[in-house]
Structure 1
Amino acid sequence: MPRHLMEHPEDVAIVRLPGGEDPGFDWTAGPFASLTRTPDETSIVCLAAAVPAGSRTEGPFRVVEVAGPLAFGAAGIFAEVLQPLVDAQISVLGFSTFDTDWVLVPRDDADAATAAWRRAGMFVTPTSLTGGSR
């Protein structure tokens, strides 16, 4: 059965803050939001529209969700999803949650990523701004 990917239309960005710094803005809305802390940095993925002016950012990105839930111990799914993008020389950010995997594709490369996944036999569907395709 081909892998099913769901493209979310919202633009997201990744924000870099100093290590241990709490975000001073609401970063929790959108199809995907993440806060990751290390001793050296705090990185936040959030809707691009929520990023405060003057923040150090990269993006915009489009969020692509692997239809799940996936078995937690399943091996090779992320590699299967990323390989067509490696072959197309598209740089991405990847995340895993308990239930599934997520790929952030630069917005300008989103159409090329979709084409690469479809060439690889994957089923890619858009989601709406008001809800998912589940």
Structure 2
Amino acid sequence: MSNFTLRRLSETFAIHSLRRESSIPDVVFNAPIFFLAKTYDEISIVIPEHIEIDSEEVELGWQAFEVVGPLNFTLTGIMSNISTVLANEKISIFTISTFDTDYVLVKSDKFAAAKAALIKHNYQVI
């Protein structure tokens, strides 16, 4: 499997957890980028950190790598390979997949180490 190009997004992200019955704040939908998931138990929202919302819990200080796509649904092992590289360096991740691509978020203080590890494993990071 060939290694992919990863692009660093300029935003620093916050990961919010809300109760399942919560309303999604309008400011989320006006954000330049956001990720939203609702399960039977909770709502998760990932938005740029400078956008504040009320939430049950929040994790601040996440940087994102975007796997440059679009990626074909027949491709396999993309996230597995990236997560293995980072797990071997003891770097925790938060992943998000969209129709066209994948995103890997790491804490800001681990970003340089994550980038170095990925480059060492033949990923191009732009």
Aligned equivalents of 1:62, 1:50: Cα separation in 2: 15
Aligned-residue identity in percent: 32
Query: What is the one-letter code of the residue matched to 1:73?
Result: T
Structure 1 unaligned regions, length at least 5: 126-134
Root-mean-square deviation (Å): 1.6
Quote the offset at 1:19 in angstroms: 0.8
Aligned to 2:14: 13
Aligned to 2:44: 43
Contact 2:17–2:58 under 8 Å retained in 1: yes
Spell out the pairing of 1:39-78 with structure 2 (5 A cutoff).
Answer: 39-52=40-53, 56-78=57-79
Query: What is the one-letter code of the residue matched to 1:122?
Result: Y
Aligned equivalents of 1:103, 1:91: Cα separation in 2: 10
Deviations 1:98-124 (A, max 9, x none): 111111111111111000101111100
Query: What is the one-letter code of the residue matched to 1:107?
Result: S
Quote the offset at 1:52 in angstroms: 2.8
Quote the offset at 1:59 in angstroms: 2.0
Give the TM-score normalised by structure 2: 0.90
Aligned equivalents of 1:70, 1:54: Cα separation in 2: 32
**Partner-residue secondary structure (3-state), 1:78:** helix
Q: Which runs of 4+ in 1 moved over 4 A?
A: none
CA 1:99–1:54 in 2, change beyond 3 Å: closer, same or farther?
closer
**Partner-residue secondary structure (3-state), 2:50:** helix
Quote the offset at 1:72 in angstroms: 1.0
Aligned to 1:33: 34
Structure 2 unaligned regions, length at least 5: none
Quote the offset at 1:51 in angstroms: 1.9
Deviations 1:3-54 (A, max 9, x none): 1000012111111110131122412424x41111112111100011112367
Report which stretch shifted further, 84-93 or 53-62.
Answer: 53-62
Aligned equivalents of 2:86, 2:124: Cα separation in 1: 15
